[in-house]
Structure 1
């Protein structure tokens, strides 16, 4: 399905970073590193990532401080659990997917980073974690991406431990039917499957929905069909932007930001297309949660792309003023992806997210 979502764009203003924000961020993110990657009940702690996003969007040190206090208070973000038992190379996999071992896994990866450095540790261990990219609803990937953005060795160890503790993988399947290079083809094919409609769960957690989808035979049949070929991430980026522009849903928001995270992580591992393919299957599972809507045609996308948007500075200021972590995350990722790819639809979805255009 060729939706032709690329286009040219012109700059619409600039963001000025506060000269003291970097210093403040180092202090805040180091303090946050003493807390768990999740808060009650099993929700992802976005704080270290969104503070970095806010800082790069122009937040003052005072605003960063204010938001950190707000977030920790509102969500009662806990400190790390007590360690259970030290882990070593021979047995760290026994703790995979066990939240009670978060501290042990963090300590293990912190030790690896201290011995080998962040890049080598990622190259050694991340491929083992690829299938479990749904960890904490993909926020393990987010935390690692921001650690790399910051060039923060401590956060690299923390993020790998967090990803490992919350590891969530689909069953290994080779889906029936011929593979298709267009990632939207298997997504839209889901519309005809009755078992994907009207799913109700006792939990509202995103990762619980992802986990449930992995138990459905019809969804298992879709797994393994997207081939990890060169250029896959670019195709996923385009598809994700279409999906979010069409639905503006919480779930599809994570598809746009997730492509940004994959772009940051991919240069640090071999066979990054395998990680991208696993990640897209998570996005596919969430398509069922948003009701499997039809997607817009090329003409509609072009009309959206042509919409006038406020300046970058105005969009960034609106995001920084918000207390919704997904506003900071989406706007920052959209700006970063626009900077690389130049698609004006990124500016449109960012302005819409913070209520500056309809």
Structure 2
């Protein structure tokens, strides 16, 4: 793959909005995963026809509408969570990223947007995470890649949604045990917005968040985030059948936070860990089954591929969620050496149909 392939793909995708389908206000639609999936394909150097993949993918997307009114620096709070202001948010961040270094813009807006980490089913933070990876890997950022960060931040801001009842973890459980202990919603019906409304009223919600053992200091945040990502990726083996697509994000959302962490001021690390855990717990509580499937049996029937084969299988499968999950699970395998994580990349491809 050539070095200009990703900027060219971004330029093509930026004619479209971050969601498609849904009602007249765009609610309950589907998320445009094109920029995130292409970033994985190009960064990993996967043997896939990126242009052909885009040809098929863009047909389902909706065009990005025009702006209505400018968002001014002192008035941004009123526009948070206003989905119809998405084009205005995009114009705002485009301007910011032409005037200042991207890390400066990120450091200013990350803490503002972090309480709304569940925005767009966590796709706001995930899209920002992929954009930051692309920017960090370039000595001179391409304008299209800066534009992708603007689109990611704009989506997060326009779909901003805070969760009530969020507390800082102060328990004793490691990530794997804390995930198992998350209280599931009794009524797991409806769109994610409906489920989150019920979650905030759930008596077990705050207790589930408290259960995780906190990082002792800023220095401990990267390792704790990695453990959370590794645990969520492996947990997919037992939980994925409950909601194959949505439960992918229990791993990919905290992984996005993990990748952004090195470019943030250290004082933002502990709040980032707490927000990432809240996102994971929210996805698990609202979509994971109360009784996990037998993960050991699932693994036994699906011998783990090599890491290279896991990524190539995902590329050949072609679904954007399968690609993103494989990318995350292979990173976790590289850290832990756990072959079950590679088996999970096969399992996700079975649960999610080919496009």
Q: How would you bin the TM-score normalised by the shorter chain?
A: 0.7 to 0.9
Give me the whole-angstrom Cα distance separating, in 1, the residues matched to 2:87 and 2:249: 26
Q: Indicate the residue corresponding to 1:198 in structure 2.
A: 187
Give me the whole-angstrom Cα distance separating, in 1, the residues matched to 2:65 and 2:201: 30
List alignment gaps of at least 5 residues for structure 1.
1-18
The alpha-carbon deviation at position 128 of structure 1 amounts to 1.1
Asked whether 1:65 is paired with 2:57, we answer: no
Pick from 135, 148, 153 the counterpart of residue 155 of structure 1: 148
Give me the whole-angstrom Cα distance separating, in 1, the residues matched to 2:236 and 2:74: 42
Pick from 275, 281, 287 the counterpart of residue 284 of structure 1: 281
CA offset digits 1:191-211 (Å, max 9, x no partner): 5x7xx213322x3xx454334
The alpha-carbon deviation at position 332 of structure 1 amounts to 1.8
Q: Indicate the residue corresponding to 2:142 in structure 1.
A: none
Q: Work out whether residues 228 and 274 of structure 1, in 8 Å CA contact, stay in contact via their aligned partners in 2.
A: no
Pick from 186, 191, 210 the counterpart of residue 196 of structure 2: 210
Give me the whole-angstrom Cα distance separating, in 1, the residues matched to 2:37 and 2:167: 37
Q: Indicate the residue corresponding to 1:266 in structure 2.
A: 261
CA offset digits 1:270-315 (Å, max 9, x no partner): 3223123223223222323222225879xx59x9599743333433
Pick from 68, 73, 79 the counterpart of residue 84 of structure 1: 68
How many residues align? The count is 324
- Greater share of helix residues, 1 or 2? 2
Q: Work out whether residues 175 and 231 of structure 2, in 8 Å CA contact, stay in contact via their aligned partners in 1.
A: yes
TM-score (norm 1): 0.79
SS at match of 1:136: coil
TM-score (norm 2): 0.80
SS at match of 2:67: coil
SS at match of 1:169: coil
Pick from 336, 343, 350 the counterpart of residue 345 of structure 2: 350
Asked whether 1:106 is paired with 2:87, we answer: no
Pick from 17, 30, 41 the counterpart of residue 36 of structure 1: 17
SS at match of 1:140: helix
List alignment gaps of at least 5 residues for structure 2.
23-28, 136-144
CA offset digits 1:72-119 (Å, max 9, x no partner): 21x2x1122221211121011111011101111111122222222111
Give me the whole-angstrom Cα distance separating, in 2, the residues matched to 1:257 and 1:190: 18
The 5 Å alignment of 1:7-46 reads 19-20=1-2, 22-41=3-22, 42-46=29-33
Asked whether 1:329 is paired with 2:324, we answer: yes
Pick from 146, 159, 164 the counterpart of residue 166 of structure 1: 159
